[in-house]
């Protein structure tokens, strides 16, 4: 699929809460969505839930989901389905309710697939057009994908934000949860090459591929969760997953061709990553004042990077691919749900709810916004995880001490 309708073209619009649903329709038409998506096949909407708690710029917005569904149904697309995955640190059932996705899919009678349910068949897949870069090495027993997604067109629904592992996260990263199962964290040390492999798979199994990105709220810092939110009032759409990520990166202030997954996908011909070769229609992004976003780490991601790329690399398999792996889930839950959200995130959410987009969010569903405190279950799990971490740390220190003694 080296060539496809819409390659190298990205639609961009400025928007407001009063016009956002109509603006999504204008946006998708500017990006020629009907040329990219056959009407005789089911269309999956890959909803992004990066946190079961609502936080600005973190997950697919309800107006993003509604705008896309409404546009598709008006254009005669009758077979639509929401697509959800889960993660080891995010509860999807809570997430689709707290992010008001379920209200939207119910309103428009769009059913949802939950790929983590055991009744979904996962089938081994080998690309036909080019060999895997890394996935066959990460999963030597075979790379498995959900059979239900094969033959289905797909629309990725990311938001504009940074990411601790990939600098920015967008359309290409949004496929990560849907195509790989729970052991997808095994790929984090080679995440950029993984995203290129996944785009190769997508272009082979999906008759149509499209992306619609919401930047009404955009997030910088240690994304995809512990971010600083900014009102940017911007929407993007494209049939080119590489190009839309490149434009998002450029808006945020990054050089897209210095982001490894964008550059690799561009060089492989999977899309256009060089901004000089991308046609932007709609809003002229050169009018935008520089955003100056930065990618930062959390306590949890710094620890993970020590395992993936630093001094703990020899312990990667024991720590992340063995019965010890729950320690990392507990560490993440402790940081985000016990410390960060109650003490840092909640005041930011309260401030966001006073903005125009925050007021629109409250209008969806029952008008309530769930802002959890420190849940006893999460605290108990996190304490258990910290205990495991402490034991591991003491063991590592003891190993280092013995090593120094032998050297002496």
Supply the pLDDT for residue 88.
59
Distance CA(94)–CA(57), nearest Å, equals 17
Question: Domains of the chain, with CATH numbers?
Answer: 9-296 (3.40.50), 300-407 (no CATH)
- Single pTM value for the model: 0.88
- Using DSSP's 3-state secondary structure scheme, residue 289 falls into coil
Supply the pLDDT for residue 406.
46
Residues making up the chain, counted from first to last: 408
Pick the closest to residue 216 from 162, 295, 168, 161 (CA basis). 161
* H-state helical runs in 75-170: 92-98, 101-107, 135-138
Structure tokens at 39: 């009407």
Supply the pLDDT for residue 407.
43
Phi, then psi, of 267 in degrees rounded to 5: -65, -30
Q: Give residue 78's Cα distance to chain centre.
A: 26
Distance CA(112)–CA(287), nearest Å, equals 39
92 CB contacts (<8 Å, ≥6 apart)?
A: 49, 52, 84, 85, 86, 114, 116
Residues 372/374/376/378 CA torsion (nearest 10 deg): 90
Tally: H helices and E strands in the chain: 16, 12
Q: What angle do CA 361, 362, 368 make, to 5 degrees?
A: 135
pLDDT along the chain (408 residues), means of 10: 89 98 98 98 97 96 98 98 82 92 98 86 94 95 94 98 95 92 78 97 98 98 95 98 98 98 98 98 96 84 61 58 54 77 93 98 94 63 57 56 48
How many CB atoms lie under 10 A from the CB of residue 70?
17
Phi, then psi, of 66 in degrees rounded to 5: -65, -45
Q: What angle do CA 171, 217, 297 make, to 5 degrees?
A: 70
């Amino acid at each position: 699929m080296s060539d496809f309708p819409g390659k190298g073209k990205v639609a961009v619009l400025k928007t407001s809460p009063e016009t956002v649903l109509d603006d999504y329709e204008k946006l998708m038409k500017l990006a020629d969505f009907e040329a990219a998506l056959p009407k005789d096949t089911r269309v999956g909407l890959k909803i992004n839930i990066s946190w079961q708690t609502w936080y600005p710029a973190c997950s697919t917005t309800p107006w993003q989901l509604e705008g896309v569904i409404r546009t598709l149904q008006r254009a005669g697309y009758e077979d639509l389905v929401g697509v959800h995955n889960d993660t080891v640190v995010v509860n999807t059932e809570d997430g689709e309710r707290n992010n008001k996705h379920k209200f939207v899919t119910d309103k428009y009678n769009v059913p949802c697939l939950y790929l983590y349910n055991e009744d979904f068949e996962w089938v081994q897949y080998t690309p036909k057009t080019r060999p895997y870069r890394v996935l066959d090495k990460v999963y030597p027993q075979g790379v498995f994908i959900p059979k239900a997604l094969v033959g289905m067109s797909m629309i990725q629904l990311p938001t504009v934000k940074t990411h601790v592992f990939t600098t920015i996260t967008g359309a290409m990263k949004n496929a990560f949860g849907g195509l790989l199962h729970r052991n997808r964290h095994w790929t984090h040390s080679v995440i950029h090459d993984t995203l290129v492999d996944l785009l190769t798979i997508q272009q082979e199994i999906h008759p149509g591929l499209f992306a619609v990105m919401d930047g009404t709220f955009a997030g910088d810092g240690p994304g995809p969760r512990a971010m600083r939110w900014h009102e940017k009032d911007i929407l993007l759409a494209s049939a080119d997953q590489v190009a839309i990520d490149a434009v998002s990166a450029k808006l945020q202030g990054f050089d897209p061709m210095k982001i490894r997954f964008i550059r690799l996908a561009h060089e492989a011909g999977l899309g256009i990553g060089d901004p000089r070769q991308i046609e932007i229609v709609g809003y002229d992004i050169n009018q935008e004042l520089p955003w100056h976003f930065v990618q930062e780490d959390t306590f949890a991601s710094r620890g993970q990077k020590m395992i993936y790329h630093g001094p703990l690399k020899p312990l990667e398999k024991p720590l992340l691919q063995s019965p010890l792996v729950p320690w990392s889930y507990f560490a993440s839950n402790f940081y985000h749900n016990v410390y960060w959200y109650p003490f840092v995130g909640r005041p930011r959410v309260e401030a966001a709810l006073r903005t125009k987009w925050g007021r629109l969010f409250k209008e969806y569903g029952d008008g309530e916004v769930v802002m959890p405190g420190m849940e006893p279950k999460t605290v108990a799990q996190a304490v258990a995880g910290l205990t495991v971490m402490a034991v591991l740390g003491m063991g590592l220190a003891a190993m280092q001490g013995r090593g120094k003694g032998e050297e002496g």
